[in-house]
Amino acid sequence: MEAGVATKKSRIETSHGILAVRETDGAGIPVLMIHGNSSCGEVFRNQFDGRIGRDFHLIAIDLPGHGESDDALDPDRTYNMPGYADAFTEAMLKLGHERAAIFGWSLGGHIGLEMIGLYKGMLGLMITGTPPVSAADLGKGFLPSPHMGLAGKEHFSPEDIDAYARSTCGEPYDQLLYDAVKRTDGRARKLMLGKFAEGVGRDQSRIILGDTPPIAVFNGADEPFVNVAFVDTIPFSNLWEGRKHVIDKSGHAPFWDSPDRFDPVFDRFLKSLEGEWRKG
């Protein structure tokens, strides 16, 4: 851990349920970090414990039904991308963060895209492991894999838990990944993926062509679940630095498997937004 990085935990009541929050005391721009399916905010520990956490005010909220958050009060309302986006918008405003940058990983990136226009103070969005596709183009955005079969499965066997935990982040494997999958409310997986396939929520391929804050795209070249080549062809109206960022020898979670190469780009992205943030 970087010297001087302090993290506090809290719980906040929302209309979707009580949510668990982690925050650093960094003095820079607030940054909401949204984790993926069957994970938790602790997956961002490399950033929380390092220079990123020292320099910026990182905020990780466990999704309803995940991590240390409570299960959703109304699963049908909450366990889908628009529901999660509403929950996190409500939480950020209750925490007093009317303006912030957002980083979304995998499902978290889809939630971040849903928050465009809903969370009025979004200064910028970085997504990784997130193909911004419509329900009709799911087959183009994602690669076929056993992982995708598990992503929407409600009841996990111990073998399913282990397989999902090992596949999402890759190396280095850590017990926290297993524990996060085991804890997740299985209804969250089933309802989220089912509703996404049904077209619940906005067409994300159209969101990115509209009036958006700067959107940064960062992927690992060895991404096992997302078709990075397809993502590279997708147009954005406001693509940060005018290009997508891809690093080799990295998979679905570059912030986890390659923080030494992810963090400098993340730092540059956040610093590019600070001028707008400081204007108030």
pLDDT digits (tens, 9 = 90+) for 77-130: 999 999 999 999 999 999 999 999 999 999 999 999 999 999 999 999 999 999
61 occurs within a structural domain: yes
**How high is the pLDDT of residue 270?**
99
Q: For the chain, what percent of residues have pLDDT higher than 70? A: 99
How many domains, in total, are found in the chain?
1
Q: Can you give the residue range of the structural domain that contains 79?
A: 7-273
Average pLDDT for residues 124-150, to the nearest whole number?
89
For 154, other C-beta atoms within 10 Å of its C-beta total 12
61 within 8 A of 20, measured Cβ to Cβ? yes
Would 279 be classed as within a structural domain?
no
Residue by residue, DSSP assigns 174-226 as -HHHHHHHHHS-HHHHHHHHHHHHTT-S--HHHHTTSS---EEEEEETT-SSB
Instruction: Show Cβ contacts of residue 120 under 8 Å, excluding neighbours closer than 6 positions.
Output: 98
Angle, nearest 10°, between helix axes 81-94 and 107-115?
A: 70
165 residue type, one letter: A
Q: Is the pTM higher than 0.95?
A: yes
Q: What is the C-alpha separation between 198 and 215, in angstroms, rounded?
A: 26
What CATH number should be reported for the domain holding residue 52? 3.40.50.1820
Single-letter residue type at 187: R
Alpha helix locations (H) across the chain?
45-48, 51-55, 75-78, 81-94, 107-115, 138-141, 146-151, 158-169, 175-183, 186-197, 204-207, 228-231, 254-257, 259-278
